[in-house]
Structure 1
Amino acid sequence: MGPQSSGGQAGGAQSISPAPLAPDLRSADERDRPSRNDSLTAQLSTVVGGPVGDHALIGRVRFWTPLRVLFMLALIFLALGWASKAGCIQQTPGPDGRPTLDWNNGRQYVAMCYSDTVPLYGAERLDEGAFPYKKQWTEDTPDGGTETRYMEYPVLSGLYQYLGMQIAKTWDAAPLPGALQVVIYFNVIAVGLALAWLITVWASAMLAGRRVWDAALIACSPLVLVHAFTNFDALATAFAATGMLAWARRRPVLAGVLLGLGGAAKLYPLLLLGPIVVLCLRTDPMQRVPSTRSGLLRLRDIDGVPAVRTWLRQIPDRIRLLSLRPLGAAAVTVAGALGTWLAVNLPIALLFPEGWREFFRLNTTRHADPDSVYNVITSFTGWPGFDGYLTHGDAPAILNIVSLLLFVLACLAIGYIALTAPRRPRLAPLCFLVVAAFLLTNKVWSPQYSLWLVPLAVLALPHRRILLAWMTIDALVWVPRMFYYLGLDRKGLPEQWFTGTVIVRDLAVVALCGLIVRQIYRPEEDLVRRDFVDDPGGGIVDRAPDPLLPWLPEPLRPKAAPARTG
């Protein structure tokens, strides 16, 4: 429809809208538009009609909101991730004619569909209906001996497996479409993990602020295709992401509870407490806050039990007032996380102490995993390791100490970076550095651990091509891993093919760390901080004063006066 003349007006024709304008012309112009400013997204957007228009009203679509689009993308990739594991839940007639899993001739490796959840159903005695940590069994060891075993996972992950088992057995006993019980169990576990990853996407999108579309890389990560259902790590990513979101919304108690629950599922959410404390330490700890005495009863005002009861009733108010200052908020979060972790673990530790200790025992006696940097060195050099050749059950004492010391040194370096940067860093980059340091220095880097890094990397360094390259490299490590596990006797790959790709993966993560450190020392290059944004995930430290910290020694002070945000 061509332009129409606004009849009777001097000055010629004037173009008008071919349809009535909307009654509300407000537009969320502050939202990032990747189809306009990112070449990769602009090319991909041609599939759905091309980049958004220059004069489009942003945020006015009624149904296909960014979050719903992200959920749709995440569901597509989660469905593909389930399909990638489906080969390992196919059934075949067994020797007795009854159906059994088709894992013949290393099918789980050739089809690259291996998932820990399938063999763990029998290995952890869940198929017997046993309660984790209470049930014990005896296993043969490689050296010809035996050992007593229990559930090897942290408490929340173990209880999640138990819940999945109960649902699978209930389904199997009901007049419903049937399958092998382990197949039902895998699907039940997969549904829960999919929900957990959707929560991760949601929380990350909320943390991204005006750059909500960055979360599309979390929803569409190649690592989701490979590892969403490899183990139970999506539970931890959900708790970690929601814990960070609670901190961003200045709810330190809830943040601590969620991070504590994450720590009860996997360890890494507890590592996020360190960056929170460091950022609060960098923010002026001596800033004035509202008086804590107004309206609060002190014990010396009234003697006796009623005063104690009143004081106890005022604990929520006291916590709220403590949370008004950065270090107080950090203390509340740390206390909430540790208290929650203890509340989840203590009942199991008291009732089944041996079963509860199994996770810690195995991690102490566990040798360097095939994908750790220590085994990579051994693979190419023949180095016997710090402890020499060990038999089954012998703890690698020196390796445990070395990996711990290297991680502590890395954390000290990250703390130094956070304190000396010209402007207080954002929370997400520091969290990524800490978790990456843990994985790089640890003696274990199970393949699904890479999921831990995905939300943090997207929030820390939203450069789509770089992130997509790293995620693709990390996901492709799965291929030589599976064929290495297949064995040379079945036409698998030599170990060096696998460990060589591990080196590439580690170098990619180190490169991401280098880019993030560069961004911290050059905050003007941080895409998130454009348009007068400080730290969408910073919570109480977002837009807070960023002083020179004269109470710190000179080497630990910021190198230049921080720029104030609008």
Structure 2
Amino acid sequence: MSNEPQPQARVAPTWTEPLAITASAAIGGPLGRHAMVGRSRFWTPLRVILLAAVLTMSLGWLVKAPCLQQYPGPTGRLVLDWQADRQYVAMCYTDIVTMPAEDRLTSHELPYQARWNDPTAPPGDQLRYMDYPVVTAYFLWAVAKSTMYYLSDLAGAGLPTGLPEVVFFDLVAACFAALWLVVVWTVRRQRPERPWDAVLVAISPLALLHVFTGTDALAVAASAGALYAFSRGRSVLAGVLLGLATGAKLYAVLLLLPLLLVGHRRGQLRPALHTAIAAGLTWFAVNAPFAVLFTPGWLEPFRNGIRGGPEPDSLFFALSYFTGWLGFDGPLPPGQAPVRLNLVALGLFAVCCVGIGVLARRAPRPPRVASLCFLVVAAALLLNKSWSPQFSLWLVPLAVLALPRWRLLLAWMTVDALVWVPRMYYYLGSDDKGLPPDPFLAVVLLRDAMVLLLAVLVIRSVLRPELDPVRALGADDPDWARPRRRAGPVPRAPAAAPEAARTSA
């Protein structure tokens, strides 16, 4: 009898998910008990989900479209129409449009080599470099060069054209939309028995608003690909992807901790170690040339992370605002790093990591990789000095893999996405009829409470595996490395008996 795990029966959402049951009323109710499922050759679940993701990305581009409008400037030359704070009033702000000018992507120098002075910074601290990790920096540089080539060599061939900032945004948006489809595909492939869970990634309000707000789609796609490769037993490939993800956004390195914890608990540490070693070597290979050639520029993202104070959407800022507390460091001069705050945030995160380790050790069964990945990334966000809106994309695939409860996850994603509205009007400023900090920080705290609730429910599913919706199907951990099948020798067919022997028999 084969020892291979038997495939699980697929879950019908209109039988198990209250939200899907309610929504199905508009199309005739839940799936019938005798319905013919899987008969369509073209409209498979994956293609339907990818179509939903394409529609979401299209709407996401339309959300940012007001910030791509233009008007004749003072010299008569067309410029971006960000007059009267359009980027905040229309809630279309995106970092991508500002990158070519702010990060000197159109210069003849490479990222980390190009430098400039910031006159608004304190004296002695005005020298600036590109503030993105290596993979992100050189991706943006390559797109900027492609934009210049398009406008100089291809626009005259009858192709549509526009301002350099607009063409740059459209090229980056096309790449990020494709990367988000990769995220959707990996989540769908990791849950063959629950294929429709991936629709939560495809239609997420956070994806609608923030895939084109910043550059985080790069790291999210590479991280999702790494977890999928690891689940298929390709631990070295998983490490390479995780190293690239860390080169795009440092949060991705945190995913190594769950792999090592689960591997230790299972007594199967080798795949996790292979992934960790491959990730470290990949990150080193990508970063080492620039760390040697352009050391001050390469260190810029690390310096800014250390010397930055608490951002308005962090717990530390909200605590300081509502209590009047001056913070761990008190008033600081411009450019001074909040040393105590850095140590406290790092210490609290270390305590959470120890707690996650104890959870992995004491759980009745080895916890699932996705559960611990969600917990460690959620802890990093909650205890970080900043939580930019696009950072929430880090949690979307992890939450769907760890806790596939549709109503709960869509409620969290909606609340998290709604932080964007008061944030934009808070940055508009009270002098321009913007919002005061109170409503904005209230929604931030509600968002944090929702993430904390998800973390509590994930912890409960680890401590009580019978409540885990994934393990309820009889699966152990579909995200752990499965042994790869190796082709063995093909047994020979028995030799045919001589004709005389067959006749006599």
After TM superposition, the score normalised by the length of structure 2 is: 0.91
Tell me which of 218, 221, 230 is aligned to 2:213.
230
Mapping of residues 143-542 of structure 1, within 5 Å: 143=122, 147-173=126-152, 174=154, 175=156, 176-284=159-267, 326-540=268-482
Any conservation in 1 of the 2:190–2:231 contact (CA below 8 Å)? Answer: yes
Cα displacement (A) at 1:45: 3.0
> 2:71 aligned with 1:88, yes or no?
no
Distance 1:419 1:142 in 2: 48
What secondary structure does 2:470 align onto? helix
Which whole-Å CA distance do the structure 2 matches of 1:329 and 1:144 have between them? Answer: 50
Aligned equivalents of 1:267, 1:89: Cα separation in 2: 30
Secondary structure of the equivalent of 1:127?
coil
Per-residue deviation, residues 159-189 of structure 1 (Å, max 9, x unmatched): 1110110111111112132110000000001
For the residue of structure 1 that corresponds to 2:191, the secondary structure is helix
Check conservation: 1:221, 1:468, Cα contact below 8 A.
yes
Aligned residue among 107, 112, 117 for 2:86:
107
Partner SS for 2:373:
helix
User: 1:136 is matched with which residue?
Assistant: 115
Q: What whole-Å deviation, never above 9, does each CA across 1:125-146 have from its counterpart, x for those lacking one?
A: 1133542111011111354666
Deviations along 1:49-77, one digit per CA (max 9) or x if unpaired, are: 54333123433320011110110000111
SS in 2 for 1:140: coil
2: CA distance, partners of 1:399 / 1:452:
24
Whole-angstrom CA distance in 2 between matches of 1:506 and 1:421: 25
Secondary structure of the residue aligned to 2:440 is: helix
Corresponding position of 1:316 = none
Separation in 1, partners of 2:87, 2:187: 33
| CA distance in structure 2 between the partners assigned to 1:506 and 1:122 by the alignment | 34
CA contact (8 A) 1:279 1:541 kept: no
Say which SS state the counterpart of residue 319 (structure 2) adopts.
helix
Deviation at 1:379, TM superposition (A): 1.5
Instruction: Please say if residues 122 and 335 of structure 2, whose CA atoms lie closer than 8 Å, have aligned partners that are also in contact.
Output: no
Q: Which stretch of the first structure deviates more once superposed, 241-250 or 522-531?
A: 522-531
Shift of 1:93: 1.0
Partners of 1:499 and 1:39 lie apart in 2 by 31
Per-residue CA distance 1:374-418 (angstroms, 9 max, x = gap): 111111122221111112221111111111010000010011111
In structure 2, C-alpha distance between the alignment counterparts of 1:346 and 1:59, rounded to whole Å: 50
**Contact 1:190/1:229 (CA < 8 Å) preserved in 2?**
yes
Partner of 1:126: 105
- Partners of 2:121 and 2:332 in 1: CA distance: 12
Question: What's the CA shift for 1:438?
Answer: 0.4
1:262 alignment partner AA: A
Cα distance in 2 between the residues matched to 1:275 and 1:234: 21
Equivalent residue letter for 1:460: A
Give the 3 Å change call, closer, same or farther, for CA 149–29 of structure 1 in structure 2: closer
Which residue number in structure 1 is paired with residue 52 of structure 2?
73
> Judging changes above 3 Å, is the alpha-carbon distance between structure 1 residues 453 and 29 closer, same or farther for their aligned structure 2 residues?
closer
Change (3 A) 1:448 1:45: same
Q: 1:370 to 1:199 in 2, by over 3 A?
A: same
Kindly tell me: are residues 147 and 474 of structure 1, through their superposed partners in 2, closer, same or farther at Cα, counting changes over 3 Å?
A: same
Matched pairs, number:
474
Alpha-carbon distance in structure 2 between the residues aligned to 1:48 and 1:261: 43
Query: SS of the counterpart of 2:299?
Result: helix
Residue of structure 2 in register with 1:15 after alignment: none
Matching residue's letter, 2:64: K
CA contact (8 A) 2:271 2:481 kept: no
CA contact (8 A) 2:106 2:145 kept: no
Tell which structure's C-alpha radius of gyration is larger. Answer: 1
Report if the CA contact (8 A) 1:280-1:541 is conserved: no
**1:440-488 deviations in whole A, cap 9, x for unaligned?**
1111111100000000001111111110110000000000000000000
Change beyond 3 A, Cα 1:528–1:166: same
- Cα drift, residue 43 of structure 1: 2.8
- Give percent identity, aligned residues only: 49
TM-score normalised by the chain length of structure 1: 0.82
Secondary structure at the residue paired with 1:92?
strand
Q: Is the 8 A contact 1:78 1:224 kept in 2?
A: yes
Q: Deviations over 1:472-508 (max 9, x none)?
A: 0000000000000000010000012211111111011
Task: Output one character per residue of 1:406-442: Cα deviation in whole Å (capped at 9) or x when no partner.
Answer: 0000010011111101111111011000000000111
Query: What CA deviation, in whole Å up to 9, does each residue of 1:107-154 have, x standing for no partner?
Result: 100000000111122110113354211101111135466611111000
Cα pair distance change 1:265/1:29, threshold 3 Å: closer
Question: Residues of 2 paired with 1:383 and 1:434: CA distance?
Answer: 28
Distance 2:290 2:482 in 1: 35
CA contact (8 A) 2:232 2:483 kept: no
Equivalence for 2:494: none
Is 1:447–1:478's contact at 8 Å kept on the other side of the alignment?
yes
- For 2:85 and 2:247, locate their aligned partners in 1 and report how far apart those are by CA, in whole Å: 33
**Does structure 2 conserve the Cα–Cα contact (< 8 Å) formed by 1:141 and 1:392?**
no
Contact 1:140 1:146 in 2 (8 A): no
Unpaired runs of at least 5, structure 2? 1-6, 485-505
The aligned counterpart of 1:299 is none
Letter in 1 for 2:430: L
CA contact (8 A) 1:519 1:525 kept: yes
**CA separation in 2, counterparts of 1:62 and 1:147?**
61
State the SS of the aligned residue for 1:81. Answer: helix
Deviates more, 1:257-266 or 1:45-54: 45-54
3-state SS of 1:126 partner:
coil
Counterpart CA distance in 2 for 1:361 and 1:451 is: 24
8 A Cα contact 1:386 1:398, kept in partner? yes
Tell me, yes or no, if the aligned pair for 1:201 and 1:218 is still in contact at 8 Å. Answer: yes
> How far apart are the structure 2 equivalents of 1:126 and 1:241?
28
- The answer on whether the counterparts of 2:125 and 2:335 sit within 8 Å (CA) in structure 1 is no
Aligned mates of 1:231, 1:56 — CA distance in 2? 44
Tell me how far apart the structure 2 counterparts of residues 243 and 391 of structure 1 sit (CA, whole Å).
42
Unaligned runs of 5+ in 1: 1-27, 285-325, 543-566
